[in-house]
Amino acid sequence: MREILPAMIAVLALCGEAWAQGAGEAAASGQPPYEVVAPPACVNDKGEPVRFEDRDGGRADLAAGMAARDGDGEPVVYRSNYSATPPDFQRFIDFHECAHHQTGDVDRPHPPRNGPEHLMNESISDCVAILRLRDEEGYGRAGFERVAAAMRADMERIGFPEISVSSRIANIETCFARDGSAEDFIEVVRERRGEGK
């Protein structure tokens, strides 16, 4: 993880908050909306089940997820406009947002937006997401390519520069090829933060 930190900070700084959100290729191309996938199982770092809640709002052509605690303090992932993006990318967004709960990001003080710690949290969540797709959903190389293609199309449609698009995909590809499970990766992250077992 340490070897990719400098490159990812530079790349992710260009992307801002929107880089973690998929934009709907379907709406831009005139395709009918995509079927919304069922959310995955998700348990946070405290052993609490995470609820997924579908919401429509904002731009109808943007699919987005947000990990949070609701008004009652319960862990939740808000899913917005998922029908705007392909199912493979919907799954990626769900696993990415779940990872913020699994790593404890939701309950930690939020670092400054686009600062190194914030961008590293986003990179970590991307890594956990692609590992879970690989290990739990059985995504092989073809599955990875579908996620990468949807990510590329959506990021390009939003207007991200090529360096941002290719660097994010390269990071996810590196994670996809790594040994070990998402759980192993999360444990290493938490240990490095001084929060492990």
How many residues does this entry show for the chain?
197
Q: What is the C-alpha to C-alpha distance for residues 86 and 147, in angstroms, rounded to an integer?
A: 9
Would you list the DSSP string of 21-82? S-B-HHHHHTPPPPPPPPPPP-B-TTSPBPEEEEE--S-TTB-EEEEEE-TTS-EEEEEE-G
* Nearest by Cα to 108 from 116, 100, 98: 100
Note the pLDDT of residue 82. Answer: 92
So what's the pLDDT on residue 36? 94
Check pLDDT > 80 for residue 25.
Answer: no
Domain regions of the chain by residue span: 2-192
Q: How far apart are CA 22 and CA 149, in angstroms?
A: 12
What whole-number distance in Å separates Cα of residue 41 and Cα of residue 89?
Answer: 17
- Pick the range with the lowest mean pLDDT from 21-35, 135-149, 153-167: 21-35
Q: Tens digit of pLDDT for each residue in 110-159?
A: 888 878 888 889 899 999 999 999 999 999 999 999 999 999 988 888 88
From residue 149, give the alpha-carbon distance in Å to each of 25, 27, 111, 180: 11, 16, 30, 24
Confidence of residue 52 (pLDDT cuts 50, 70, 90): very high
Q: Are strands 64-69 and 75-80 parallel, antiparallel or unpaired?
A: antiparallel
Computed over every residue of the chain, the mean pLDDT equals: 84
Beta-bridged to residue 78, according to DSSP, are 53, 66
CA distances from 167 to 4, 6, 48, 164, 179 (A): 10, 12, 33, 5, 20
CB 175 within 8 A of CB 127: yes
Least confident of 26-30, 63-67, 85-89: 26-30
